[in-house]
């Protein structure tokens, strides 16, 4: 039995995952030793890495991020392109790194892998815990510990072994060997033979390439191949050539390539355009390092066995086109540390004397936290690679030539949201504050809710909307007070849907001018009730209303246009178009036939079309007149970066006060309409000469003649959006319940439309307040 003192982790492999784990353990005061087979901790193997927000955030917690940024001289990719096989761009993200930094607090940084390893190693205080020239040959387990033996005969003892030694992991082999001896059948013996390999890849670093622009990254599509080429510091160029294999290979059939294999493969693509004035051959000729490797893709079923656990490529290997290999390894290391610290806090003796079963439980907690996300990385990279290399020719052509050109530049940045927002972090270390607009999952105030609960509540509210809207329809008497009441409440959806049409995150979404016109025309045919209900249901599947914090902003000139457009294009004409209310025909009159309602013209289709077009006109006027009437001191933005680049305006919040004023103005209009309708009913009862009992009996028999069904339908409508806000975790369950009670009370007191506007005002403040951005 090997001797040991206290709890100790043996890390095998000094790559990104292994070194990061070492620094994490040092930070949380857990003993370890790191064994690295190379003679240097940062060997020049010619590989590069794209450090992304999910990895940077964790490295920032362990005091490594600033050192890494310094190592690559703060170099970031400015613009990102997607190109056709001829080198012609079909999609571009301008100011790419600024978008990422503003959204998530960290840019994407390309650098030599060697530089990053050295930067992390330099931050480790106990350098004596890093043992070089130590290739592991054998692992032995004991009742109270574990040891590893290196090829030169040295033995290292501890409580736990972490295999961070890559795709050809010796720890993985030893783990399976020991399991076969002590627990036969634990591992599937054919799992390794089912690992697929569909692509091979030549990756390398070039320098001083003529005509290669600074500060760009390029994804170049091809038939059976693709390229990823990115700029780096010191006039470097990091590149990957991905080539589809003739047939998918599995397990032991996956080859190991020689330098001759690389040269033969590269020869086939030397004339392939990367840009319209640059070929792959020109970059390849300037290489300072290059390697050909197969690209197996897999996530293991079992990541651990008793005192052994795997992290990084040893257990989850993805195509490098999405840059998640090293970042994913950092996340897995962080989750292992989280599990260790939770156990240390729970047990009286901390981590001392842990049994193999307890250590395996720790490892399985780590796997549970990371497995689904690791699989998503593998599948996501596989799909993107298939798109770029035309695995399905028709799908690739359609997406690249039809879908992507139609999308906005930032739509491609939006695709990174899940990749970053759900990232792991070290729960027991403070997070560095880096201003950012998109919230990470752990920053949201509420926990996730089960899908079936959300679906059930939404279904009940949609059913309530449909039932009450149906009850409020009286085709025999369309101008009863219920109809007039519903018409008076149309201000709310018109204002809200117009605002949604102008959201920064809604370009090309549903509420465009043309589609608003379609809604109006459809409403005239099937009714407003059925139309709004239809689009609420459709929103569940297609998300017409943006919930992204970075898609929330409305241009200030549009927000300024809402109130004058509402007055001149809707409110005043509605009074002029007002019609007389017709008394009920199926029962003695409850109201006087001479009674008029100033709100009766609100459902005129001309007004529903006039308002959005006047909004366009007024917003254009305010945009043109702003430089003339606004003092220079007021026009200056708080942050020069945002002020100088209009495509970064979405990260400002200068529209919120103006929108709140517009919501408040519309609230007053709809609340007045609600009070006016209630007064008309009351006044009609007073002047009808009917007794109270007779009136009550009449309304009980004819509920569709009252505003009540419309109020209840509107109530369900607003409650739907309240619950939607909880589904996105922007409010807690307690806040949701309070909002629901306020909505119920408000619907009865000021009407559902005014309540909807009040809720939307609150929703605006909630979404604007979720991020921790400090730029504006």
Q: Transcribe 625-652 into DSSP letters.
A: HHHHHS-HHHHS-SSHHHHH-GGGGGG-
CB atoms within 10 A of CB 529: 21
Q: Is residue 68 predicted with pLDDT exceeding 80?
A: yes
Q: Is residue 585 predicted with pLDDT exceeding 80?
A: no
* CB 244, CB 201: distance < 8 Å: no
CB atoms within 10 A of CB 536: 21
User: Quick one: 428 exposed, middle or buried, by C-beta within 10 A (0-12, 13-18, 19+)?
Assistant: middle
Per-residue pLDDT reduced to its tens digit, 375-391: 999 999 999 999 999 99
Q: Which residue has the higher pLDDT, 630 or 300?
A: 300
Q: What is the mean pLDDT of residues 101-118?
A: 92
Residue 597's pLDDT is 46
CA angle at 253 for the pair 247 and 257, rounded to the nearest 5°? 90
**CA of 653: how far to CAs of 434, 638, 642, 771, in Å?**
18, 11, 11, 11
Lowest mean pLDDT among 80-84, 545-549, 633-637: 633-637
Q: Which backbone phi and psi does 287 adopt, to 5 degrees?
A: -70, 145
Lowest mean pLDDT among 217-226, 358-367, 673-682: 673-682
Residue 774's pLDDT is 47
Residue 131's pLDDT is 97
Q: Is residue 358 predicted with pLDDT exceeding 90?
A: yes
Bridge partner list, 308: 161, 305
Strands 146-150 and 109-112: unpaired
Q: Which backbone phi and psi does 652 adopt, to 5 degrees?
A: -85, 165
Per-residue pLDDT reduced to its tens digit, 39-51: 999 888 778 999 9
- Give long-range contacts, CB 8 A cutoff, 24+ apart: 706-710: 706/481, 706/482, 706/681, 707/472, 707/481, 707/482, 707/485, 707/486, 707/677, 707/678, 707/681, 709/468, 709/469, 709/471, 709/472, 709/482, 710/468, 710/469, 710/472, 710/482, 710/485, 710/486, 710/489, 710/752
Rounded to the nearest angstrom, the gap between the alpha carbon of residue 423 and the centroid of all alpha carbons in its chain is 10
Per-residue pLDDT reduced to its tens digit, 428-459: 999 998 999 889 999 999 988 887 787 788 77
Q: Is residue 294 predicted with pLDDT exceeding 90?
A: yes
Sequence-separated (6 or more) residues with CB below 8 Å from residue 188: 301
Q: Is residue 614 predicted with pLDDT exceeding 90?
A: no
Per-residue pLDDT reduced to its tens digit, 147-190: 999 999 999 999 999 999 999 999 999 999 999 999 998 999 89
Q: Which residue has the higher pLDDT, 4 or 111?
A: 111
Residue 492's pLDDT is 84
Q: Which residue has the higher pLDDT, 635 or 307?
A: 307
**CA of 42: how far to CAs of 63, 120, 215, in Å?**
19, 10, 25
Q: Is residue 595 predicted with pLDDT exceeding 50?
A: no
Distance CA 345, CA 350 (A): 6
Q: How confident is the model at residue 522 (pLDDT cuts 50, 70, 90)?
A: very low
Residue 305's pLDDT is 96
CATH superfamily of 8-421: FAD/NAD(P)-binding domain (3.50.50.60)
Q: How confident is the model at residue 405 (pLDDT cuts 50, 70, 90)?
A: confident
Q: Which residue has the tokens 């997406």?
A: 399
CB atoms within 10 A of CB 256: 9
Q: Is residue 582 predicted with pLDDT exceeding 50?
A: no
Distance CA 709, CA 689 (A): 26
Per-residue pLDDT reduced to its tens digit, 232-268: 999 999 999 999 999 999 988 999 999 999 999 999 9
- State the average pLDDT for the chain: 83
User: Quick one: 746 exposed, middle or buried, by C-beta within 10 A (0-12, 13-18, 19+)?
Assistant: buried
Q: What is the mean pLDDT of residues 74-94?
A: 89
Q: How confident is the model at residue 665 (pLDDT cuts 50, 70, 90)?
A: very high
Distance CA 182, CA 9 (A): 22
Name the residue ranges covered by the structural domains of the chain.
8-421, 451-769
Q: Is residue 79 predicted with pLDDT exceeding 80?
A: yes
Q: Is residue 2 predicted with pLDDT exceeding 50?
A: no
Q: Which residue has the higher pLDDT, 572 or 618?
A: 618
Q: How confident is the model at residue 758 (pLDDT cuts 50, 70, 90)?
A: very high
Locate 642 and state its tokens: 């945002």
Q: Is residue 279 predicted with pLDDT exceeding 50?
A: yes
Q: Which residue has the higher pLDDT, 604 or 348?
A: 348
Residue 693's pLDDT is 64
């Amino acid at each position: 039995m090997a001797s040991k003192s206290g709890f100790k982790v043996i890390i095998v492999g000094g790559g990104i995952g292994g070194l990061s784990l070492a620094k994490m353990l040092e930070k949380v005061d857990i003993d370890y030793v790191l064994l690295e087979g190379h003679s240097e901790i940062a060997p020049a193997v010619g590989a590069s890495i794209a450090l992304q927000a999910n990895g940077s955030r964790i490295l920032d917690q362990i005091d490594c991020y600033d050192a890494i940024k310094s190592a690559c001289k703060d170099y970031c990719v400015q613009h990102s392109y997607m190109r056709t096989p001829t080198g012609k761009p079909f999609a571009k993200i301008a100011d790419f790194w600024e978008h990422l930094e503003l959204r998530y607090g960290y840019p994407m940084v390309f650098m030599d892998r060697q530089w990053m390893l050295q930067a992390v190693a330099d931050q480790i205080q106990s350098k004596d815990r890093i043992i070089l020239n130590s290739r592991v040959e054998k692992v032995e387990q004991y009742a109270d510990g574990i040891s590893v033996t290196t090829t030169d005969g040295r033995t290292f003892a501890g409580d736990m072994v972490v295999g961070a030694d890559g795709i050809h992991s010796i720890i993985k082999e030893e783990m399976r060997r020991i399991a076969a001896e002590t627990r036969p059948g634990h591992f599937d013996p054919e799992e390794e033979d089912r690992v697929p390999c569909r692509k091979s890849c030549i990756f390398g670093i070039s320098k001083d390439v003529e005509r290669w622009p600074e500060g760009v990254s390029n994804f170049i599509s091809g038939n059976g191949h693709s390229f990823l080429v990115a700029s780096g510091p010191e006039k470097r160029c990091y590149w990957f050539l991905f080539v589809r294999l003739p047939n998918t290979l599995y397990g032991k059939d996956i080859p190991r390539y020689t330098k001759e294999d690389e040269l033969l493969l590269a020869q086939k693509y030397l004339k392939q355009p990367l840009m319209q004035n640059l070929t792959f051959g020109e970059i390849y000729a300037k290489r300072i390092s290059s390697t050909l490797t197969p690209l197996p893709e897999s996530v293991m079923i079992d990541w651990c066995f008793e005192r052994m656990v795997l992290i990084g490529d040893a257990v989850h290997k993805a195509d490098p086109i999405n840059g998640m290999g090293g970042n994913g390894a950092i996340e897995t290391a962080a989750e292992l540390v989280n599990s260790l610290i939770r156990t240390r806090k729970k047990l009286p003796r901390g981590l001392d004397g842990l049994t193999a079963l307890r250590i395996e439980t720790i490892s399985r907690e780590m796997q549970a936290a990371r497995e689904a996300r690791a699989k998503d990385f593998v599948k996501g990279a596989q799909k993107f690679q298939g798109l770029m290399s035309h695995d399905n020719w028709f799908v690739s052509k359609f997406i690249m030539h039809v879908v992507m050109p139609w999308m906005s530049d930032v739509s491609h940045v939006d695709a990174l949201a899940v990749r970053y927002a759900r990232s792991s972090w070290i729960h027991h270390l403070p997070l560095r504050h880096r201003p950012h607009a998109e919230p990470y999952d752990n920053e949201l105030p509420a926990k996730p809710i089960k899908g079936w609960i959300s679906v059930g509540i939404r279904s009940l509210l949609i059913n309530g909307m449909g039932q009450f809207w149906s009850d409020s329809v009286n085709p025999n008497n369309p101008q009863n007070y219920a109809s007039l009441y519903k018409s008076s409440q149309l201000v709310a959806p018109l204002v809200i849907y117009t605002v949604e049409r102008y959201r920064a995150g809604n370009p090309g979404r549903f509420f465009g001018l043309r589609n608003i016109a379609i809604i109006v025309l459809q409403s005239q045919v099937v009714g407003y009730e059925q139309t709004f209900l239809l689009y609420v249901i459709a929103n569940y599947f297609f998300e017409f209303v943006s919930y992204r914090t970075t898609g929330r902003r409305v241009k200030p000139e549009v927000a300024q246009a809402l109130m004058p457009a509402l007055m001149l294009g809707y409110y005043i004409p509605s009074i002029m178009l007002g019609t007389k209310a017709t008394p009920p025909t199926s029962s003695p009159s409850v109201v006087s036939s001479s009674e008029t309602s100033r709100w009766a013209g609100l459902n005129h289709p001309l007004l529903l079309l006039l308002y959005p077009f006047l909004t366009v006109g007024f917003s254009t006027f305010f945009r043109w007149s702003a430089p003339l009437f606004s003092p220079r001191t007021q026009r200056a933005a708080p942050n020069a970066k945002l002020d100088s680049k209009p495509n970064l305006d979405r990260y400002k919040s200068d529209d919120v006060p103006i929108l709140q004023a517009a919501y408040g103005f519309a609230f007053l209009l709809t609340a007045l309409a609600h009070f006016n309708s209630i007064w008309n009913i009351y006044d009609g009862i007073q002047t009808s000469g009917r007794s109270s009992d007779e009136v009550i009996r009449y309304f009980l028999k004819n509920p569709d003649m009252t505003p009540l069904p419309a109020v209840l339908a509107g109530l369900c409508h607003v409650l739907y959006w309240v619950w939607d806000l909880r589904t996105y975790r922007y409010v807690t369950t307690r806040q949701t319940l309070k909002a629901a009670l306020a909505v119920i009370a408000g619907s009865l007191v000021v009407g559902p439309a005014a309540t909807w506007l009040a809720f939307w005002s609150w929703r605006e403040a909630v979404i604007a307040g979720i991020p921790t951005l400090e730029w504006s």
